[in-house]
Amino acid sequence: MRRLQAQRILQRDYLEKNMKNLKLFFFVIFLAILVLSVSPFIGKIINNSNQYIFSIFDFSEQQKEIIYNIRLPQTLMAFFTGFALAVCGLMYQTIFQNDLASPYTLGVSSGAAVAAVISIKFNIIFNFAFFSNIGIFAFFGGILTLMLLFFFSSFSKTFNNFSLLLTGIALNLFFSALILLFFYMSNFNETFRIQRWLIGTIEEMRLNDALIFGAVVFCAFLGIYYFREDLNLISITNDEVSRSRGLNVVKFKILMLIINTLLVSLVVAFCGPIGFIGLICPHIAKLLFGYNHKISLIASGVVGAITLTLCFTIARLIVFPSIIPVGVITSLIGAPFLIALIYINNKIKN
């Protein structure tokens, strides 16, 4: 009788906890829709006295054109970029079972940055589809970095997290040195363009291009979400246990790394290396919803989308008409926020 009562109490507590998580989840989704809907209508305009004034929900003809052609595409781009970076961050933290892993841990962003710097330094100009010349170089630079990572890791007898991380760190340091070398060899104009790109920013683009980018991110997310149960398995067990349960760990990790590298390379190609989103937002999602990838994958993406959209909105308003590179805002907010998260996690564990 007591055992039956205990089971009922545990079942009731479980259902109550799930209901709280469900309510919180829908609140986060609502917040994402709200931020995405409101952000394009917030900005500054020039009044009749040639002064910059704050404007919200101004539907004059001039503002409509600015909203549709400039703010809306940039806001969508920030939203999709934040979603992609946060999901990739959670993936890297799961694959390497390391809470400090991020989309840039393996040197993918540094490899993409070197390729972009080469494009700027030698003024290589060509376009393909909605990619700029810098974007094309950055995209293939990220892919080449993963190929180098697999090549050097193949010398190890076992495909393990430790060798992958060390190889990634080594490549990261090497590419950083190459970037400094190109900095030293560049003139003032080239140095300015390189520095601005490396900070990370959301450039002006057409609405169709932003929607295509979003469709690619969504398709990549569906591919990742399909393997949510396998991600749960490797996140709570070691490789040996995962193999005993029928998962080919090496092939699975390689597949996940390829998908993530393609997604990160695409983001870096458009926006440059934007920091902290892929590191902090997965921790926020896990803190709110737990470690089950069925929920945390979606939650991480949505939290990342909200965070980067808000950061970009702030970046648009501070020094109008200029736009501060959003990578500056994410770093300024991200560093103290990460310290706060560390203390919160420690308190919860204690």
Record the tokens describing residue 191, joined without a space. Answer: 């140095």
Structural domain boundaries in the chain: 23-349
CA distance 61 to 41: 13
d(CA 267, CA 294): 24
119-133 core/surface letters (b: 16 or more CB in 10 A; e: else): bbbeeeeeeeeebbb
Q: Give pTM, 2 decimals.
A: 0.88
Rounded CA separation 86/217 (Å): 12
CB atoms under 10 Å from CB of 36, counted, come to 17
Residue ranges of the chain with pLDDT lower than 70? 1-19, 44-60, 62, 126-131, 156-159, 321, 345, 348-350
Residue 319 gets which letter from DSSP? T
Among 3.30.70.20, 3.30.1300.30, 3.40.50.10090, 1.10.3470.10, what is the CATH number of 23-349?
1.10.3470.10
Whether the CB-CB separation of 110 and 176 falls below 8 Å is answered with yes
* Whole-angstrom distance, CA of residue 313 vs CA of residue 266: 22
Residue 47 confidence (pLDDT): 60
